[in-house]
Chains A and B, each alone.
Chain A
């Protein structure tokens, strides 16, 4: 982190700006991927003619190595759904169904599409590109009910994705006071606010070590350090082996400040849960480590607006708003989605004219690359993720992990370097997708996106304007 400093410029005696870019390398899966299709061969009617071998350009069909007179089981996970074998088999012996195992992945929010696409991004570091246009529903709940804007002709775009123009994806954590104070002699009075720069607007949330084990935790540490971002952890059960990564770590401090003293001392940022006496705790943390940023985490409660206002007006540096796994705020009436809950808080702070004083982080339901810019448009400065990182490690999102060591993907036994590469690849793919979105909008930096609801299109608004009024 010391080489690329706060503003992305090199400080190590060089004057040339260093562009932030993420190195990717292939990290092959440990398990046969779960494909969308299952190819079926009717053995009674197949005459082993081998036509399907010729038809399939993806090598799904092969002969049995031990008896080349016979056809082998199709390698269904390689099937890309072109129907050629099915339409050309002389005895109509082939068919194909949706793979039940695929359909069982995840749930209605963490869909099989999101999960398998995350696997691919974690493996290759590349953004998903396919032909033949869009295939999904017109719109959907949550983030799927908004589109981001683009520029054309009269507003310049940025050609960022292929590196022809530099687009900055970094954010600053910390308070940004709206004015500076000077003493009589014209010198800055008091210390300027401490700000920490992260090159991507994504932080890693805490992984319970008892569930996922030390190797996953180490992969998270390695990936965060390499990316230049932060990861959160619980000092209570943190293996001391991982203390060497503490400069990227954000300890989550519970009630016992004294026990966590060491981790507070070593941290650039500390997180505490919101409580009535947050001010007192904050003071104590400042006493232990005056340089650390303090983040206060809270769920969206009905009085979250006033709580956040008090935190911002007080001295919290960062406020971390937490939705649930599905991006919902269940404590609010109607369980609104993260994008709406965030906007409520953001606009409240804007109204009170203190929005710029604090950094807002959001977590919960950030499942895909496009959710990052959408959360930022809704008012966050950055997001905190955990689940996508886990899925990047080939997790099936089966939620068996509530019991340690029942994980069908043996997540606890990964190689930390492999895990870190997968996480770095995933973040590289996400960052590139963020660049696509920013470039299309003609923005030079992600900080300019915050709260820019004017650069988003909303389903309900468009429906009202275009259809509801017309078709009343």
Chain B
């Protein structure tokens, strides 16, 4: 994909207050002597005339208990012993086991600055106690300085078409944006995703809610999704698309069709989907025209008839026989097999499905990779993995397990300051203006800002991916594929 390089500039938070990691308490014993104001070089303390503030005004700048080591540690120098610093219990209310508070804050920071944190302490993943969170790399060498890394010319591009027909296409990063429909997310969010794909030379996907006109300028970077509801699927948008994605299933609700609850079906959404406003939309499951690989092939033929230049991707989730499904998709003619694991997902999904149905992506990737190898067709198909990829590290781990690249969803929303509160499914949708179609909420976000935030995230990941490859002594991301020997599992740490 052509890349329209864009400058990485700071895209500060839309909100006034950052979430502080630490709580700085000042008791009434404070005599406002100003010692702490002078001492702290980070500018945590400030005394404003006429105000008797008990908490510090710039508490998010505080570096916490570890400041103890420093000469300027305010707590030790306060003559009245009026100061104390502690972990902020507020953070316990942020995030969850998969997306820990630290991971959310660090993703926000990446999206703000476009660079990994300077102290080298990147957050690798979450605290889910399994899968990616238990896999670690066997590093070969130390991380380099940023300048040497940029000089090293590490190749991150991934070929999407490995078959002998159709045009050559590749993406500049081993990742692209997953399908989120207009309706589940707001228009500025969609534009943010598409603009970032353009800036970084990769792709994004419409999801199943149709193709809003506002996306047309980004058409070379936009995958059109055809899902079981066939909402908004039109010949023109198939013709526009570099890749057409068939969504057979999705990880967050495997075996179930898409859900868009009535509240979110606004007139604009309904118009695009050619449905009635206010009525819940449940996509059927499965495609009632596909009950075999042969039926599936007809689908692909149909797309190629309309747009012979399109690559075809098949999105499936991860049942016990996911390997068979992948091979079947290949034989039906797919260029890309896109596995969607259960632990990702953005839109509305029943809790029971998210937690219980089908296997996590960490198991599906190596299973499919090995099976494709055994069939002797591994190098004729591009394997993309999504559903639970939160960081550049997860992406690299997925590739080392056998994927060619990964598909990103939630992380993009977190880049737009999603706090993972999970309210996107109903009512007016996302209170932070991301996954909503409510007019007032959608105004909380400017599309240009959204483009910059997601571009920054991808740029930060790009640097992290280059650093990972450097530390593994590899020159290109294609060399990482299937290198399970470069990983170890914390629970079965061996000698190999």
Contact = CB atoms under 8 A, between A and B. Distances in A.
A360 B491 CA distance: 37
B286 interface: yes
Contacts of A152: 248-249, 254-255, 286, 316-317, 319, 325
B435 interface: yes
Nearest to A457: B359
B29 interface: no
Contacts of B418: 132
B133 A439 contact: no
Contacts of A161: 256, 282
A45 B356 contact: no
A180 B308 CA distance: 62
B90 A95 contact: yes
B225 to A, nearest CB: 16
A255 B55 CA distance: 69
Contacts of B353: 436, 440
B192 interface: no
B493 A138 contact: no
Given A153-B296, A154-B325, A129 B348 contact: yes
A433 to B, nearest CB: 5
B34 interface: no
B290 A153 contact: yes
Nearest to B246: A153
Interface stretch (B203-211, B237-245, B266-274, B423-431): B423-431
A398 interface: no
A89 interface: yes
Contact of B254 (A136, A159, A440, A472): A440
B290 A147 contact: no
Contacts of B432: 82-84
A161 B90 CA distance: 39
A135 interface: yes
Contact of B421 (A95, A132, A133, A433): A132
A36 B95 CA distance: 13
B347 interface: yes
A380 to B, nearest CB: 17
B346 A133 contact: yes
Nearest to B288: A159
A138 B319 CA distance: 17
A439 B255 contact: yes
A151 interface: yes
A97 B349 contact: no
Contacts of B99: 135
Nearest to A87: B15
B352 A139 contact: no
B133 A138 contact: yes
Nearest to B257: A159
Contacts of A42: 54-55
A404 interface: no
B248 A153 contact: yes
Contact of B249 (A134, A150, A433): A150
Interface string A31-53: 00000110000101100000000
B481 interface: no
Contact of B351 (A80, A130, A159, A470): A130
Contact of A133 (B293, B343, B363): B343
A454 B321 CA distance: 11
Contact of A470 (B54, B256, B257, B366): B366
A188 interface: no
A92 B426 contact: no
A147 B286 CA distance: 20
A135 to B, nearest CB: 4
A436 B426 CA distance: 20
B16 A88 contact: yes
A136 B358 contact: no
Interface in A87-120: 87-92, 95-98, 117
B492 interface: yes
A150 B355 contact: no
A82 B431 contact: yes
A82 B418 CA distance: 9
Contact of A136 (B19, B97, B413): B97
Given A81-B419, A131-B346, A153 B489 contact: no
Interface stretch (B37-45, B123-131, B193-201): B123-131
Contacts of A138: 128-131, 133-134, 343, 360
A88 B97 CA distance: 26
A468 B135 CA distance: 12
Given A80-B421, A462-B359, A57 B431 contact: yes
A352 interface: no
B367 interface: yes
B435 A131 contact: yes
B130 A369 contact: no
Contacts of B92: 97-98
B471 interface: no
Nearest to B341: A134
A132 B346 contact: yes
A470 B484 contact: yes
A150 B93 contact: no
Contacts of A470: 366, 484, 489
A329 to B, nearest CB: 22
A466 B325 contact: no
Interface in B289-321: 290-293, 296, 316-317, 319-321
B285 A157 contact: yes
B154 interface: no
Contacts of B355: 134, 136, 370
Interface in B67-115: 88-90, 92-94, 96-99
Given A87-B17, A149-B320, A433-B352, A466 B90 contact: no
Interface string A140-174: 00000001111111111101011010000000000
23 contacts: A36-B93, A42-B55, A82-B432, A86-B19, A89-B16, A131-B435, A132-B346, A135-B99, A137-B128, A150-B319, A150-B357, A151-B286, A152-B325, A153-B248, A153-B293, A154-B321, A157-B285, A161-B256, A437-B356, A462-B363, A470-B366, A470-B484, A471-B496
Interface of B: 13, 15-19, 52-55, 57, 59, 88-90, 92-94, 96-99, 128-131, 133-134, 248-249, 252, 254-257, 259, 261, 282, 284-286, 290-293, 296, 316-317, 319-321, 324-325, 328-329, 342-360, 362-363, 366-367, 410, 413, 418-428, 430-432, 435, 484, 487-489, 491-494, 496
Given A83-B419, A132-B422, 20 more contacts: A81-B422, A82-B432, A86-B17, A87-B17, A90-B16, A95-B89, A97-B93, A131-B346, A132-B418, A132-B424, A133-B98, A134-B98, A134-B354, A148-B358, A150-B254, A152-B319, A154-B325, A437-B357, A470-B484, A471-B488
4 closest residue pairs by CB, A with B: A440-B255, A138-B130, A131-B424, A150-B255
